[in-house]
Amino acid sequence: MQPHTSTELTSAETVFDVDQEQLARTYAKAFLAATESMDQEGLLEELHSLVVDVLEKFPDFNFNLTSNFLSHEEREDLIDAVLGSRASAPVVNLLKILSRNGRPSMLRPVIRTIRKLHGEKLGRHEVRVYVPHELSSDLQEGLQQALQSRLGVTADFHFHLKPELIGGMVVQVGDTVFDGSVRMTLERARQKMVMQAIEAIETRPDSFFVDSDE
């Protein structure tokens, strides 16, 4: 697999809580169950293309499709008009179900969860690598090989830009996060200093108090 840089989790990502994550998982499992006898790899490619080639390139359509600005009936008409003859029935059905249930904004989380569950079923792990600046294809490929060897798993890698990391990178494997950024390194150092100070105060309290009469 060729590594690639995705913006799907930067400006477009919706931060959702545990309840929404569970709901996204429910929709994803239902989608995979309903399409079990179909070409799921092809459907995953179609969902990826929907995000990258349609939603990210046409912000007005993205807004109307994934927000509650329109009524369900209006969104359904929009889905039929724009995607009805272009998208497969399972994808169109997923969009309409999310719309009917008042959950159009969950489209991206649901798609990510579909991809994650499908990968887990095939024994693949999804690895997300967050870096402060864009990496060349050679660097991405080298990093991918090094991480795959280090992790010892078959993985699908996704690279994401996150300038606020300052330096280093953050690697997420499933629900486990390995933070090697400069910011986190400094935070760990600060926490270590605080803990050392607390321990010193607890073990040698007299050395931290000055007699005011001296």
71 class by beta-carbon count within 10 Å (0-12 exposed, 13-18 middle, 19+ buried): exposed
Indicate the CATH number of 5-121 among 2.30.110.10, 1.20.1270.360, 1.10.15.40, 1.10.520.20.
Answer: 1.10.520.20
Per-residue pLDDT of the chain (214 residues; tens, 9 = 90+): 333 333 333 333 334 455 788 899 999 999 999 999 999 999 999 999 999 899 999 999 999 999 989 999 999 999 999 998 899 999 999 999 999 999 999 999 999 899 888 888 887 777 888 888 888 888 888 888 888 777 776 777 888 888 877 767 788 876 677 766 545 554 555 566 556 656 666 666 554 444 545 4
Sorted by where each begins, the domain ranges of the chain are: 5-121, 124-214
Q: Is 173 helix (H, G, I), strand (E, B) or coil?
A: strand
Q: What is the pLDDT of residue 91?
A: 96
How far CA 165 is from CA of 8, 9, 180, in Å, comes to: 17, 15, 9
Q: 109 with 31: CB under 8 angstroms?
A: no
Q: Is 153 helix (H, G, I), strand (E, B) or coil?
A: coil
Q: What is the pLDDT of residue 167?
A: 66
For residue 3, give every residue at least 6 positions away whose Cβ sits within 8 Å of its Cβ, in sequence order, or none: 137, 140, 141, 143, 144, 157, 159
Q: What is the pLDDT of residue 93?
A: 94
Class for domain 124-214, per CATH? Answer: alpha beta
Q: What is the pLDDT of residue 171?
A: 82
Q: Which residue has the tokens 């799921």?
A: 40
For residue 12, give every residue at least 6 positions away whose Cβ sits within 8 Å of its Cβ, in sequence order, or none: 51, 55, 56, 108
